[in-house]
Chain A
Amino acid sequence: MNAPDQTLLTVEHLTMRFGGLVAIDDLSFAARDGRITSIIGPNGAGKTTVFNCLTGFYAPTVGRLALRRGDEVLLLERLEDFRIARTAGVARTFQNIRVFPKMSVLENLMVAQHNRLMRASGYSFLGLVGIGGYRAAEAEARDLASYWLERTGLIEHADEEAGSLSYGGQRRMEIARCMCTQPTLLCLDEPAAGLNPRESAELNELLLFIRDEHRIGQLLIEHDMSVVMEISDHVVVLDYGRKIAEGKAAQVRNDPAVIRAYLGEEEDA
């Protein structure tokens, strides 16, 4: 694992164009390990696009995305999406939740441990005939899953269909599923959207737990300022694809450029 507080992710000159539309314009920032970095901004500022570039769903037009894992530095823009998750260890949740609805909650978390279990089952060949350490690996995977189910308060629902969970439950399950991949960087796309105040307070606790106990660096997109202000160690503010401010939460909140972006500007000149 990385030494705490080291730079985990460096984004340099990230630019994403869709035809004539510039969704992200020359964005640079860094996220540190074991810290929560928030990306905020008004609707359409390009926050989710940053995530999609990071996780390989879009290939950035220009820019370098460097992730440190141990002693290695991986350039994410050169990796395919599933390899970013597998080799670089970037896990993400989705703005509009993506669970496997017909599968049970526990199965969802087992799927997250696919690559490890595939190796243990000898790429299915040994597992089919029952040789090798697949049983032990599966039991271990189940323990990890139940650990995170316990943490997210879903242990009671482990054998139910994931699609039958409440909205908040599905959001927490997505986070638990990400943690089961044992990530180096956790990207959360509006995890508090649609949650009631009690649920979003629980979410804060969960994210702080992940930061403090597991020392996992997190990248957070959020509209809910109560979440952002309370738990962020570092805030990056985007507007129209450009970074307009950066710093501690309290510092950013009073930045005139940020206030202008959120509240609009009076036309007087």
Chain B
Amino acid sequence: MTDTLATGVNPLPAAFRDAALTAVVAALLGLPLVGFHVVSRSSGMVLEGRVWELATAVALIFCGRLGIVLVNSGSAWPVLACGGVAVLIGVFAPMPGVFLSVVCVAGGGLLAARAGLVMLRGKSGMRKIQARIQSSGTALRGMGAYLGPALIAFAVALPFLPFADRQVIDIGILVMTYVMLGWGLNIVVGLAGLLDLGYVAFYAVGAYSYALLAQYFDFNFWICLPLAGAFAAGFGILLGFPVLRLRGDYLAIVTLGFGEMVRVILLNWTRLTNGPDGISGVPRPSFFGLPFKRRPPEGVESFHQFFGLDYASIHRVIFLYYLILVLALITNAFTLRIRKLPIGRAWEALREDEIACRSLGINPTNTKLSAFAIGAMFGGFAGSFFATRQGFISPESFTFIESAIILAVVVLGGMGSQVGVVIAAIVLIGLPEWFRELQEFRMLAFGAGMVLIMIWRPRGLLSHREPTILLGRAP
């Protein structure tokens, strides 16, 4: 953004040009995305234009862009006006959902507030604030030491907080599952630097291992959990052997193919996996033998009877929540510990320079395989949790988009950063869940989260790396 004030030129024409250009781009993009919708009539489906909504969106974007440009060039009055217009549009114009109105009002309000700040404090004050926002990433890193324990404490207390209803805990479970998957993939991508686009395959192997073992052999969850991890690790090694001599893009393509292969096999091996119909009636986990049932079968005591509680369906949800929390924390503890072991350092060294690793006598194949297998193992654990939570699994749940989301969580969190993965999972998974009422526009929140992270922290939320060993001599 050019600082037009410094040259003494009136910033308005340039700002209008910029905003108009943005509005044109928005109109072009919006025409197919927002401009039409399908309406069901008695005569069949009809395409209907949505001129009014499109116009509102374009007008909003025009105002917003104008506001941002003008704020950057320090003109407060027009921005105040822009913000005001945005708020007005937000309040009075019809929106496809309440949420968009809220975004509109909030965005306009923010712009106006910022303009007000500029007027009150002058430009230098604004610069300071901006600098503070910029350095907040560094501050976040400083907080890292407290952030982790604080997040854990919050996660442990969540089910008992006053606002925690069934929906919040469900979202918590979902976010936790992705945190665990992210941490598992972090070993492969973040530490060992192997770009794996088929991580969902191991998730699927874990889920199907549990579902099939429970169906055919009547094994319970606690026996299947380690087995699922072992199977997934086995698949990791199976995949790893032929492909780990590949690097970078080539490895990514092969792992992508592997992910799809597993899904297609699950889809077509109808006799074993029931194909696209999936497996239903996957047994729910028990509290170490105590089932969560209102009326347990003869001779079996149920969870609420054992603890003398009234039956409530939320018990099981809370139990599932703690189960995934513990699984995720185990993953975390494992990763933190193994980073300080020679194998963890070798992973990171391999990410940095494979040839140097070879020249130091590190066996690259074994080292990569171990990373692959361990990452896959945690994917398997998460998979069997997924199966027991859903009670129903089908190949539909293990499409490529899942791999992409898990990878996005890792990359946007800052490769190799544990806390970063948590924050990215909350932003990318939690936000779209909260905005369920937006229906098909829900994924906008996902996109917005991604874009914000890319603008604010292009190298990931927490890209700082702590050394695993210190000499402890201050320079």
What's the minimum C-beta distance from A205 to chain B, rounded to whole angstroms?
23
A158 touches B471 (CB 8 A): yes
B471 touches A146 (CB 8 A): yes
Known: A99-B353, A100-B352, A128-B334. Contact between A111 and B471, CB under 8 A? Answer: no
A55 touches B473 (CB 8 A): no
Q: How far is the CA of A115 from the CA of B343 in the complex (A)?
A: 9
Q: How far is the CA of A55 from the CA of B356 in the complex (A)?
A: 11
Cross-chain pairs A/B with CB under 8 angstroms, 14 sampled: A82-B359, A82-B364, A98-B355, A103-B345, A103-B349, A107-B469, A110-B469, A111-B349, A114-B346, A121-B341, A121-B343, A128-B337, A155-B473, A159-B467
Q: Chain B residues near A85 (CB, 8 Å)?
A: 358-361
Q: How far is the CA of A55 from the CA of B233 in the complex (A)?
A: 33
What's the minimum C-beta distance from A236 to chain B, rounded to whole angstroms?
22
Identify 8 new A-B residue pairs, CB closer than 8 A, beyond the known A128-B334, A160-B475: A82-B358, A91-B359, A91-B360, A98-B356, A102-B352, A111-B345, A114-B342, A145-B471
- Contact residues of A between 152 and 189, Cβ < 8 Å to B: 155-160, 177, 181
A111 touches B346 (CB 8 A): yes
Q: Chain A residues near B349 (CB, 8 Å)?
A: 100, 103, 108, 111
B352 touches A157 (CB 8 A): no
A237 at the interface (CB under 8 A from B): no
B361 touches A82 (CB 8 A): yes
Q: Chain A residues near B471 (CB, 8 Å)?
A: 106, 142, 145-146, 149, 155, 158-159
A124 at the interface (CB under 8 A from B): yes
What's the minimum C-beta distance from B17 to chain A, rounded to whole angstroms?
43
What per-residue 1/0 map shows which CB atoms of A124-143 lie under 8 Å from chain B?
Answer: 10011000001000100010
B348 touches A114 (CB 8 A): no
Known: A98-B356, A106-B470, A106-B471. Contact between A118 and B343, CB under 8 A? Answer: yes
A127 touches B341 (CB 8 A): yes
What's the minimum C-beta distance from B230 to chain A, rounded to whole angstroms?
15
- Which partner residue on chain B sits nearest A97 by CB separation? B356
Q: Chain B residues near A82 (CB, 8 Å)?
A: 357-364
A103 touches B467 (CB 8 A): yes
Count of A-B contacts judged by CB separation below 8 Å: 125
- Kindly name the residue among A112, A155, A177 whose own CB sees the greatest number of chain B CB atoms within 10 A: A112
- Which partner residue on chain A sits nearest B342 by CB separation? A117
**A interface with B by C-beta (< 8 Å):** 55-57, 81-83, 85-86, 91-92, 94, 98-104, 106-108, 110-115, 117-118, 121, 123-124, 127-128, 134, 138, 142, 145-146, 149, 155-160, 177, 181
- Kindly name the residue among A56, A82, A98, A106 whose own CB sees the greatest number of chain B CB atoms within 10 A: A82
A81 touches B358 (CB 8 A): yes
Q: Chain B residues near A149 (CB, 8 Å)?
A: 471
Q: How far is the CA of A103 from the CA of B361 in the complex (A)?
A: 18
Q: Chain B residues near A160 (CB, 8 Å)?
A: 475
Q: Give the size category of B's interface with A.
A: 20 to 34
Q: How far is the CA of A104 from the CA of B370 in the complex (A)?
A: 23
A94 touches B356 (CB 8 A): yes
Q: How far is the CA of A106 from the CA of B364 in the complex (A)?
A: 21
A157 touches B361 (CB 8 A): no
A104 touches B360 (CB 8 A): no
* Interface residue from A98, A101, A107, A177 paired with B468 (Cβ < 8 Å): A107
B5 at the interface (CB under 8 A from A): no
What's the minimum C-beta distance from A134 to chain B, rounded to whole angstroms?
8
**B interface with A by C-beta (< 8 Å):** 334, 337-338, 341-343, 345-346, 348-349, 352-353, 355-364, 370, 465, 467-473, 475
Q: How far is the CA of A177 from the CA of B359 in the complex (A)?
A: 11
Q: Chain A residues near B359 (CB, 8 Å)?
A: 55, 81-82, 85, 91-92, 94, 98
A100 touches B342 (CB 8 A): no
* Interface residue from B342, B363, B470 paired with A124 (Cβ < 8 Å): B342
- Which partner residue on chain A sits nearest B333 by CB separation? A128
Top 8 A-B pairs, shortest CB-CB distance: A85-B361, A86-B361, A100-B352, A117-B342, A158-B471, A98-B356, A104-B467, A111-B349
What's the minimum C-beta distance from B415 to chain A, rounded to whole angstroms?
10
- Which partner residue on chain A sits nearest B359 by CB separation? A92
B355 touches A110 (CB 8 A): no
Q: How far is the CA of A7 from the CA of B472 in the complex (A)?
A: 42
What's the minimum C-beta distance from A82 to chain B, rounded to whole angstroms?
5
Q: Chain A residues near B346 (CB, 8 Å)?
A: 111, 114
A106 touches B469 (CB 8 A): yes
Q: Chain B residues near A128 (CB, 8 Å)?
A: 334, 337-338, 341
- Kindly name the residue among A114, A117, A145, A159 whose own CB sees the greatest number of chain B CB atoms within 10 A: A114
Q: Chain B residues near A134 (CB, 8 Å)?
A: 341
- Kindly name the residue among B342, B355, B356, B467 whose own CB sees the greatest number of chain A CB atoms within 10 A: B342
Q: How far is the CA of A160 from the CA of B473 in the complex (A)?
A: 11
Q: Chain B residues near A91 (CB, 8 Å)?
A: 359-360
Known: A107-B467, A117-B342. Contact between A157 and B360, CB under 8 A? Answer: no
What's the minimum C-beta distance from B273 to chain A, rounded to whole angstroms?
34
Q: Chain A residues near B348 (CB, 8 Å)?
A: 100, 102-103, 107
A181 touches B356 (CB 8 A): no
What's the minimum C-beta distance from A123 to chain B, rounded to whole angstroms?
8
What's the minimum C-beta distance from A182 to chain B, rounded to whole angstroms?
10
A99 touches B356 (CB 8 A): yes
What's the minimum C-beta distance from A260 to chain B, rounded to whole angstroms?
35
A98 touches B343 (CB 8 A): no
Q: Chain A residues near B361 (CB, 8 Å)?
A: 82-83, 85-86, 114-115, 181
- Which partner residue on chain A sits nearest B363 by CB separation? A82
Known: A121-B341, A124-B343. Contact between A114 and B334, CB under 8 A? Answer: no
Q: How far is the CA of A127 from the CA of B353 in the complex (A)?
A: 25
B465 touches A102 (CB 8 A): yes
Q: Chain A residues near B342 (CB, 8 Å)?
A: 110-111, 113-114, 117-118, 121, 124, 127
A157 touches B475 (CB 8 A): yes
Q: Chain A residues near B343 (CB, 8 Å)?
A: 118, 121, 123-124
What's the minimum C-beta distance from A9 to chain B, rounded to whole angstroms?
17
